[in-house]
Amino acid sequence: MAGSGIRTSTTLFLAQVFSVAVLFVTSFILAQNLSPSEYGDFSAAYSCVAIAYVVCLLGADITAFNVISVAHSKNNVKDINAYVAYVFTTVLAMSAALYTLGLVAFLVLRNVLEVQASHPVFVAVLFTPAMSMTFFFYKVLTSMSSPVLSNMVYKVVLNAVVLVFVLVMARTAGDASARTAVVAYLTPWLLVLVLFVILFRRRTAGAGAGKSPIQLRAWLVPGVSAMPYSIALMALANLGVISAELFAGDEEQVGHYAAATWVSQLFNTLFVSLAFTLHLSRASLCVSEGRPRELRGLIKRHLTSMSVIGAGFLLVIVVYGKQILRLYGESYTDAYAALVLLTLMQVIVVLCSLATPILNYMGHHTMTAAFSVLLIILIVPASYVLDRLWGVTGIALSLLLAVAVTFVPKQILLMIAVRRQIHQRADTALAPVR
């Protein structure tokens, strides 16, 4: 059993390493085939859709680990089908709402924000529903005890196909634009969504047709409370790119900052999904079955391993950060200070990444939502003020400060909550039987 766990962990880690390597290569191929300003526009467009597809899920990507893993442990396929139907309907409704809101905002604020109708963001958002459902099915298959399969598809197949599309674009489009890059980068999500649907249907075939009634309140409330955290975790760096697009006066600086964001995001990409895959389904069961000591051990192992790895990654960035940025182009080294700050931010994010979902599983929905909303509220004004002082380095600093203020207290509160549960169980065990 232990050998099987080691093999699974090793396979998942290797898939993550492959994913990070491919993402890194893809990002500097894009940068080399686009001007810094075009690369900035591409990054801003991708950042917007990365936030949009997380918003459309209304936190279902986080609560899926709880809902699906519990239903799967009971072989309750009808509940799984009901949850998938609920999420599909939610994504369609939210996508329509975002399209409407985006159109109205563009018509009202286009002169204020100086966003042209030709901006690649308007191409990127068309992919929102497909990206939402692809990301969701990745979580579903992971929760159904298929972490290797889901990660191989989402991390290896998806990123490999993206790289192929980008290489084709680089070879065939003599004068590539940000809009062309967006299409090349996002089209593979449609293909992988089809693959995920096929795999899901095979996993549930023969296990009973139909679905249970949709539990709207039971699924919506924890999902909505987790959504701000999901945005913060999955798209935190993207908020910085959008802030740079809005506030930075020099378009080339946006491209430089975007490159720093991509490099720093590699640590998050490598370890957050791995931590979720290995720990969240188990953590959900620990909470539902009342095993706080096991839960505490899981959290401590995560903190210890990520502290050591995070320190090593940060050291590499401090020493070799300029050489890495030089792969994008000589001018990109201007973003070295932003890269160091963003990397430190990502280390904190990864260290504290389990806090919000586990607190949600324990029923602390209001508290986690409040922290996550606070984080998002802090980023925009802090980015505006610090950009005026230190340019894009200030934007990176604003993200670091916002994360430190919101993620660290949540991690502390989680440890307190788990310790309290351990003490309560000990007191119950020692209480005299009447």
Residues 269-280 have pLDDT tens digits of 778 877 877 787
pLDDT higher than 80, residue 8: no
pLDDT band at 428 (very low <50, low <70, confident <90, very high): low
- How far, CA to CA in Å, does 407 sit from each of 24, 111, 232, 356? 26, 36, 10, 9
pLDDT higher than 60, residue 173: yes
Q: How far is CA 14 from the centre of its chain?
A: 19
Q: What is the pLDDT of residues 293-328, one digit of tens each?
A: 999 999 999 999 999 999 999 999 999 999 999 988
pLDDT higher than 50, residue 1: no
Distance CA 160, CA 26 (A): 9
Q: What is the pLDDT of residues 121-162, one digit of tens each?
A: 889 999 999 999 999 999 999 888 788 889 899 989 999 999
pLDDT higher than 70, residue 113: no
- Write down the pLDDT at residue 5: 59
- How far, CA to CA in Å, does 68 sit from each of 5, 80, 142, 282? 21, 6, 9, 12
The Cα angle at residue 400 between residues 394 and 406, in degrees rounded to 5: 135
- Write down the pLDDT at residue 429: 58
Taking residues 345-362, report their average pLDDT.
Answer: 90
Average pLDDT, the chain: 86
pLDDT higher than 70, residue 117: no
More confident residue, 109 or 198: 198
Distance CA 299, CA 274 (A): 14
pLDDT higher than 70, residue 209: no
More confident residue, 3 or 382: 382
- Contact (CB, 8 A) for 283 and 358: yes
- How far, CA to CA in Å, does 358 sit from each of 87, 94, 370, 416? 21, 26, 15, 13
pLDDT higher than 60, residue 7: yes
Segments in 114-176 forming alpha helices (H)? 121-124, 128-143, 147-151, 158-172
pLDDT higher than 80, residue 434: no
